[in-house]
Amino acid sequence: MRKPVPKPPSKAMPGKPAVRTPGKSAPMLTTPKGKSERSSQSPAVANKADPNAALHRPPPAPMPVLLSMNETLATLRIRSRVSLYRLMRQGRLRSVKIGSRRLICGASLQRLIAKAA
């Protein structure tokens, strides 16, 4: 028969009993070293502290002058090269041929995106 392993004492503040509420825990935070720690604020309180937290994003990276076909497909989030060639044929995208490569002008891509929005 096994002996029960004693539980370590809880870290309660002096004069206050340690109370654990089942199912309720503070959200996990990741420190720069990769270690996890519990937040003392609930998510609702953290959001009230800075209601514009989602609006403080870094500005998007500037569009390159020329993009490859694959970069353009990824930017537009389309899979078909045929659709890209169709946009070029319609004059909605400008391209330049350098050697054997077909490169898309970044300015025309930005115009296409702005007109679609």
Own/partner pairs, 83-88, CB within 8 angstroms, 24+ separation: 87/112
| Mean pLDDT value across residues 14-19 | 58
Judged against a pLDDT cut of 90, whether residue 92 lies above it is answered with yes
Are 95 and 104 within 8 A, CB to CB? yes
Between the alpha carbon of residue 86 and those of residues 24, 80, 89, 95, the distances in Å are 56, 10, 5, 12
Q: Could you tell me the pTM of the whole model? A: 0.47
Q: How confident is the model at residue 69, as a pLDDT?
A: 94
| Mean pLDDT value across residues 5-32 | 58
Q: What is the dihedral of CA 42, 45, 47, 49, to 10 degrees?
A: -140
Confidence band, pLDDT 50/70/90 cuts, at residue 93: very high
Q: How confident is the model at residue 11, as a pLDDT?
A: 60
- Burial (0-12, 13-18, 19+ Cβ within 10 Å), 71: middle
Q: Identify which of 61, 70, 65, 72 has the alpha carbon closest to the alpha carbon of residue 106.
A: 65
Judged against a pLDDT cut of 80, whether residue 71 lies above it is answered with yes
Q: How confident is the model at residue 50, as a pLDDT?
A: 62
